[in-house]
Structure 1
């Protein structure tokens, strides 16, 4: 029999999982259908589609962990099961973080205006720069996987051979997690630089408008502000997400079947689920199609209930 807390945890996990899947599947279906219809795809659509796919896999990993934690947390103590789950966790988080970073760089190169020759060169070769950066991130992913494999095998062998005490195993585990977390600093740093450069470009653009006595409600100003909102929302969510990932990794090792551990896992759903709806609201194409779908559902409900006012 499940306790009341485990039941509530599974219900909340299921709700967050369904909400996140709904938003990301919507993004994927809309962009894939547009690609088939137009027989071509843009760089932005490619990034958003890849982001939707990676987040769906991320949500599946989180939900699998929620099921195990709610049903039988001791499964994590089985090395043959814990190892692939940790690997999937690492891959999905890595791809999601880097794809959103690519989106931040895209907003910067597409919208910002600088007179520096290097910026012109990056802007002119934007597609190659962003695709190259994503390909470069796969090198980090391979290194992360190799490090994770090495640390995991070494860690479990030392425990099984009795060469590590409980306190030493915890210290060893935390040091490995800290070392593996360094790969997150690069994409977060790039996104932060994108936000700072967007803000600098907006300040410069606004000053030029004031000098030329032009109103501030022009298209470029709106585009700057919209891009800054998108990048800022990502940075806030990814920083909270990164903090709770580190807490989750530590709590999984020390306090597996714990109320706070389950709360941390519930918070982890917020980034892949919440940011997808922010992208829908921030993208005019996705927003318009979402409104059409909502209107269609509303009219269908009215037809099914004609007596409702």
Structure 2
């Protein structure tokens, strides 16, 4: 039985999962329909679809993990496949990183030869970046050796263990390699987002000093900066929670542990909702879906 704050966390977790699946499912369906009509998929849609697919899988994995935490399912279902979970999580981080790089290359104005080269070729590089992400995530999950591949499983077994004395410490080298696999895409993402924010702020300041600059233009820059900041906060929070969980510093069922579980689930759901609201095509289809649901509900009533 779930009682008190545990029941509240369980309800929030259910809302997170359903929101994430709906938002990411919308991204996949809309881009697939657009691909069928055009007979090809543009690079941004391809990247968004890969990101949405990885997040749906991650959301379902988080759901099964939290069911085990709440004693509503056997935790072995999750711990026996935890290496796959970390593969999907790292893959999703790479896809989100390349999305940040894509926006930075397309929107930012930085007078540097390397950046100008990237701006001209980023669309053609997207399929190769996706392939490279899959290979890198596979390498860090499988090819690093048996000891390194047991790190994620050992972390989660420590949470499900009732006796802390039975938990074996994780060797420093495999844990360092594991953390490095999460740190590299996070570093690239943070650099790309900070460059984009700096470029937008610089452009907004120039527009503000020019005569005849309208309020809608300034509001547009502020909206874009706030949206990018929300991406950065959610991404960085997810990365920090993953690091904290890796230290095995929480007891199973503690409030801090449950809070970290919620933070892990917020990123793939809320980030995708922001992506839908910030993309005109996805936003329009989301409105059509809501209107269709309302009409169906009224017709049944």
When normalised by structure 1's length, the TM-score is: 0.79
Residue number among 125, 128, 136 corresponding to 1:129 in the alignment: 125
User: Any stretches of 5+ residues in structure 1 without a counterpart?
Assistant: 157-165
Report deviation, 1:256.
Answer: 3.2
1:183 CA drift (Å): 2.0
Question: Which of 84, 87, 104 does residue 88 from structure 1 map onto?
Answer: 84
Q: Distance between the aligned counterparts of 1:257 and 1:200, measured in 2? A: 42
1:197-212 to structure 2, matched below 5 A, reads: 197-206=195-204, 208-209=206-207
Q: Distance in 2 between matches of 1:121 and 1:216?
A: 32
Give the match for residue 229 of structure 1.
226
Q: What are the within-5 Å matches in structure 2 for residues 233-244 of structure 1?
A: 233-244=230-241
CA shift, 1:191, in A, is 1.9
Distance 1:229 1:102, change over 3 A: farther
CA pair 129-287 structure 1, distance change in 2 beyond 3 A: same
CA distance in 1, matches of 2:92, 2:105: 20
Contact 1:112-1:198 at 8 Å conserved across structures: yes
1:283 corresponds in structure 2 to: 279
Question: 8 Å contact 2:186–2:239 — kept in the other structure?
Answer: no
Distance in structure 2 (CA, Å) of the matches to 1:126 and 1:107: 10
1:29-68 counterparts in 2 under 5 A?
29-68=29-68
Note closer, same or farther for the CA distance 1:206–1:244 as it changes in structure 2 (3 Å cut): closer
Aligned residues: 289
TM-score, with length taken from structure 2: 0.81
Q: Give deviations 1:20-45, integer Å, cap 9, x for gaps.
A: 11111111111111111222211111
> Matched residues in 2 for 1:3 and 1:175: separation?
39
- Asked whether 1:143 is paired with 2:145, we answer no
Residue 118 (structure 1) aligned to one of 114, 121, 124: 114
**Native 8 Å contact 1:61 1:88 kept in 2:** no
Note the residue ranges of structure 2 that are not aligned, 5 or more in a row.
155-163
Instruction: Indicate how the Cα distance of structure 1 residues 186 and 83 shifts in structure 2: closer, same or farther if over 3 A, else same.
Output: same
Does the Cα contact within 8 Å between 1:23 and 1:273 map onto a contact in 2?
A: yes
Per-residue Cα deviation, 1:46-81 (whole angstroms, up to 9, x for no partner) = 1111111000000011011112222268x55x6x96
Q: 1:153 to 1:198 in 2, by over 3 A?
A: closer
- Tell me if the contact between 2:43 and 2:124 (Cα under 8 Å) persists in the aligned partners: no
1:3/1:124 Cα in 2 relative to 1: closer, same or farther (>3 Å)? closer
Partner of 1:180: 178
Q: Secondary structure at the match of 1:34?
A: helix
Q: How many Å apart are 1:287 and its aligned residue? A: 0.9
Q: Name the residue aligned to 1:106.
A: 102
Residue 70 of structure 2 aligns to a residue whose secondary structure is helix
Larger radius of gyration: 1
Between the aligned partners of 1:56 and 1:81, the Cα distance in structure 2 is: 16
Offset of residue 151 of structure 1: 3.0
